[in-house]
A and B are shown apart, each in its own frame.
Chain A
């Protein structure tokens, strides 16, 4: 009978349960998605060619943060689950149900809800992981070979973590419910919110928060040699600073605005500010973690995308797009596929010690090279002509550059056309090609290099010096980072946005009554909608602003890996902010659907039908 009653109770609050359940599913889905990459050693060692210590540290840090946010989220979800059921359980107990039986009911309800959500999350996680990884691999043209979508260890750890959390939550719920007087359970919904803020304490906390945040940003700028000190130092100061800023500074600002009557006495502004004040008090911890996750997600995408600059640099640092030395039909066939923009061909004869070139040919088509220089902190390349007079002078820049194009350590000699004709020795040619679009012709050019190496193993030096091969090397190195950056960025973004979204939605049922009141005293529906947009907008904006600041200061850490971590910053920022705004828009729609008065919803439906 109790089970039947319990199920009826769940049915009557189905919408609330659906929100809670979806939130839990998303949490476990993201957790699984993150683990597929973070605890897959073969992905890290094969696809990401970088210092494993550095990466292990990054992933350990990521896991700690993800566990932290999931932990806070699950505790919140659990207390929400409990508060939704308090009234029902109080009623069962007032009708004479034994607290032991009620305890069992609560325990199983929490555990079953949690386990089902975790399993659903993992299954959906397969799909999400597959979609995201495929999308990234194809869209970014990455070479990823050791990434797997269904990774048993990730499934195992996700299950262990979540079921442990729910088990612990279930015990906590049982203890809490069976130790609460029945009357308190029955009147759960009528408890007033408490808000005790002493202005002096608020001011001290606000200043303290700003100082801590400033200290954190200063630490991020310290020399990279102090890396192991920078990370924990910045983490502690920034987390604490962010917490105090949300807990004290934002509330102080709201108090200040509320006192400026010219500002607050307009439309629903006092209501919006009042709502925000209570929400910020309630959401301080979660907003703190969200701003950090925001920073991590945006940082990961920014750094990931920034690795493409390495490919650009590889492309820019070598002048000739391709070297051709073979005239075999297979090579010729591939060369024909290229969109060649210029071609420089030189003929030479090879003796035991020397390589003989015709001076005329080199004069007519001067050899070019790229010279590196620094524009600020950013490396740039400019095209220069190799001095003809120095091509045959050992240890000059021109001579070295020419030798590396030839892949030979033999001496370069320049002779006249007639002198060249009279020389004995094997005849060769060196064709240096430039194409219209390197990325477009890259696969064919790489094939040409591979064919030439296959035909002649001595070609290895030129092969290694050729642009397609160098580009491939850099591309392999940066692909892993790009993939990881985007993948983690998207995972963190989904997690943070859904946490914020579900947290806001889970309180919506209680807000509904406030909007009904406002409607009754004559607030227009449009005014209510604007108030909702403003209130949620600020809730989304605050962690975003701090998150963006964290990223701007945090990117300094990547000077060690990237030539300019701030390069093309607007691209990842735009991608990220558009996705974030999408989440904000969805949250508003769902929230409005819950809180707006029934009369307004009916009108909306009618309009939609019309």
Chain B
């Protein structure tokens, strides 16, 4: 299996030298292989968001390196980073981050137009991912006209339409009701298993994390233990996770 993401000794310190400093990440190391579904779990303030911002190239580590598809992010300039994000990374955010002045179809097409994909190829690509995510009937609506669950599916379609190397999801079920959350997680799991989409999800929800094949726990800026699903059914993996979390308390 090829390595899609490698995080190597990443630290992040806030505050200037000579002032009071705060170290949000204290030497993070881990790797994600192609086709894996990894969840990073941690409480508020554990460093989850900081780590995700660094992985997504929106922020730079103070020390250490992040490799996506063997490419070291720290060697790229601003334009290369933007191109890198648009080609290699797909994002799903907690609050969808859809552009409400574009229709759902236009929202999904945006990463492709940004990459300069020829116009004639864009609609077929959009149609393929939207039928995969069962949202074809809402394509001409605006995000404000559809439900939260549908919005998150549109966001997922936008994240995947350009076939990124890795899908980064930041609390994707955070703003959804339990039914929609469950449906989305089923879809993400399905995409991971059947389409081999490499996924890294940051969450504090045990149910969401139980859909992953591996869970990394982050606490006080450090990755502690990890939990492997292996051949366990999801429900049992969930119970194992709950027990693990209970033992920590």
Contact = CB atoms under 8 A, between A and B. Distances in A.
Interface in B63-85: 78-79, 82-85
Contact of A274 (B58, B91, B97, B102): B102
Contacts of A195: 142
A523 B86 contact: yes
Interface string A239-262: 000000000000000000010011
A262 B99 contact: no
Nearest to B117: A265
Interface in A256-306: 258, 261-262, 264-271, 274-275, 277-278
Contacts of A523: 82, 86, 114
Task: Point out which of A522, A523, A524 has the most chain B C-beta atoms below 10 A from its C-beta.
Answer: A522
Nearest to A263: B119
A520 B113 contact: no
Nearest to A528: B82
Contacts of A422: none
Given A274-B101, A278-B101, A525-B78, A268 B113 contact: yes
B220 interface: no
Contacts of B122: 261, 265
A353 interface: no
Contacts of A603: 78
A517 interface: yes
Given A261-B122, A521-B111, A526-B79, A270 B102 contact: yes
A143 to B, nearest CB: 55
B100 A520 contact: no
Contact of B113 (A266, A275, A514): A266
B193 interface: no
B116 A524 contact: no
B86 A522 contact: yes
Contacts of B158: 521
Nearest to B60: A599
A333 B112 CA distance: 83
Contacts of A264: 113, 119
B87 interface: yes
Nearest to B86: A522
A599 B85 CA distance: 14
B119 A522 contact: no
B144 interface: yes
A520 B142 CA distance: 21
B101 A275 contact: yes
Task: Point out which of B79, B99, B120, B158 has the most chain A C-beta atoms below 10 A from its C-beta.
Answer: B99
A531 to B, nearest CB: 11
B79 A261 contact: no
Nearest to A517: B97
Interface SS majority for chain A? helix
A525 B91 CA distance: 18
B82 A525 contact: yes
A209 to B, nearest CB: 23
Nearest to A525: B78
A490 to B, nearest CB: 35
Interface in A117-131: none
B85 A520 contact: yes
B106 interface: yes
Interface in A551-610: 599-600, 603
B114 A522 contact: yes
B3 interface: no
A520 B91 contact: yes
A265 B114 contact: no
A271 B119 contact: no
Contacts of B56: 520
B109 interface: yes
A374 interface: no
Interface string A216-243: 0000000000000000000000000000
B123 interface: yes
Interface in A513-543: 514, 517-527
Contacts of A521: 85-86, 91, 110-111, 114, 158
A599 B113 CA distance: 23
A496 B144 CA distance: 33
Contacts of B112: 265
A193 B100 CA distance: 8
Contact of A599 (B58, B97, B100): B58
Contacts of A266: 113, 116, 119
A402 B42 CA distance: 105
Contacts of B101: 193, 271, 274-275, 277-278, 514
A495 B86 CA distance: 42
Contacts of A457: none
A269 B91 contact: no
A181 interface: no
B99 A192 contact: no
A261 B85 CA distance: 24
A538 B237 CA distance: 56
B91 A258 contact: no
A261 B123 contact: yes
A522 B109 contact: no
Contacts of B100: 192-193
Given A274-B106, A527-B114, A522 B82 contact: yes
Nearest to A511: B101
A524 B82 contact: yes
Nearest to B56: A520
A393 B58 CA distance: 96
Nearest to B90: A521
B87 A514 contact: no
Given A275-B101, A520-B58, A599-B58, A192 B86 contact: no
Nearest to A279: B101
Contacts of A522: 82-87, 89, 111, 114-115
B116 A192 contact: no
A524 B113 contact: no
B114 A269 contact: no
A283 B112 CA distance: 30
Contacts of A517: 97, 99
Contacts of B123: 261
Task: Point out which of A192, A262, A265 has the most chain B C-beta atoms below 10 A from its C-beta.
Answer: A265
B78 A268 contact: no
A515 to B, nearest CB: 10
B82 A271 contact: no
Contact of A265 (B59, B83, B113, B144): B113
A244 to B, nearest CB: 22
A184 to B, nearest CB: 16
B202 to A, nearest CB: 15
Contacts of B113: 264-270
Nearest to B85: A522
Nearest to B168: A520
B198 to A, nearest CB: 18
Q: Which 5 pairs show the lowest CB-CB distances between chains A and B? A: A522-B86, A192-B144, A522-B85, A265-B119, A274-B101
Given A269-B113, A274-B106, A521-B158, 13 more contacts: A265-B109, A267-B114, A274-B101, A514-B101, A517-B99, A520-B85, A522-B85, A522-B111, A524-B78, A524-B83, A526-B79, A527-B114, A600-B78
Interface of A: 192-195, 258, 261-262, 264-271, 274-275, 277-278, 514, 517-527, 599-600, 603
24 contacts: A193-B101, A195-B142, A261-B119, A261-B123, A265-B122, A266-B116, A267-B114, A268-B110, A270-B102, A270-B110, A274-B99, A274-B106, A275-B101, A514-B99, A517-B97, A518-B110, A519-B82, A521-B86, A521-B114, A522-B83, A522-B84, A526-B79, A599-B59, A603-B78
Interface of B: 56, 58-59, 78-79, 82-87, 89, 91, 97, 99-102, 106, 109-117, 119-120, 122-123, 142-144, 158
